[in-house]
Structure 1
């Protein structure tokens, strides 16, 4: 269950009605999980229609590329985590430390997705086909904001340690490695050339110094992930200490 006693302020007084908070979290988590699912399916259907009308020769490759976006993968993880939280609030499964680490990963990836998209990529047409407006906002703004708010207000204490930061870093680093290795050998059916990257800042052709520019951007993203995870983890540990 997502319960560990009433939430309290630093003065020891109840911050708000814990039952009302739990109900709001239950409804919010279910709604956002469904919104993420609808947004991914809606964008995929829109993209499939666009690719077909454009006459792309290899639609399955486009589908693989669609699911190669960090945004899509992080939203899928967030959707699964939110569904598990809803199930936990209703009695099963029981969640513990391993889930806390998974939740830290999902929350960090979503917050970073929101930051990177809204600072670097908003207004740029990404190569998934025609963009579905409401889906784009759900995946890049609504869901990241919810994951941040959920992390900050949830009354459940989380069993996290500083070494968990390295676990958070594993997936983004692996994703970057696979993306950079795959990019030069994956054809771009829209541009008709021999390379495809999900985001412009990973394409060496967009930098005068090639892979040096990509390396800088990868370092920026990696630092953003670690800093974001550290802030979320610090907040969770502060909440645990203040409850003692």
Structure 2
């Protein structure tokens, strides 16, 4: 096996079990040892930059990170690569789910846009928990007001079912967009739409190229359906024991549960050969 030179880590369900939690000390120690051994360490997340900063800072990441499922590769100063859905093209997704009871969110330029009807306090409380900064959400009374406020294209669109009974319709509508967008499940009860061809996997390839690291020397660790393409792209793809089936099927190795420091276990095995 090739020596690991780049490690890409998902956040939710991989580094942390619940929103707002800290990374376990054992995982932190293993990540620090990997960095000390010369391994580049980055984050690959479906989040926008603002809500990933806490863990970027905690891990001391000093290279670009992969955000919004690979639609943006950036550091805190600038974007190195961005591949978005044209703003007007997101209207067909918004229209397809209008009136269904699903909650619709557009991720654009480090903000999340929604209408007042789609704003769901419980979900935003979950996303907000433990964050360093004020949550960057833009709420408007109508879709047209929202689009007028949104000046940039969209990194992704997320649609979420507030109750489990709505999930079958969520999936059924998502299937109608196959071949038009990259459509994945980040977690149960949601679907995430990116530009066709854009994924954490494509983002990881771009970052590895930027750093001069061959893909066979890359390890990726994740748990969500949006991690599957990243796990397939990496030389070593590791799924958490708690991972969704899409991630497990894409992985070369299943590590321990997030609550049992599966990240540390994978680093010890594949970086240090323990």
Superposed pair shares fold, TM > 0.5: no
Higher share in helix:
1
Larger radius of gyration: 1
Q: TM-score scaled to structure 2, two decimals? A: 0.24
Q: TM-score scaled to structure 1, two decimals? A: 0.26
Q: Name the structure, 1 or 2, with higher relative contact order (CA <8 Å, separation 6+).
A: 1
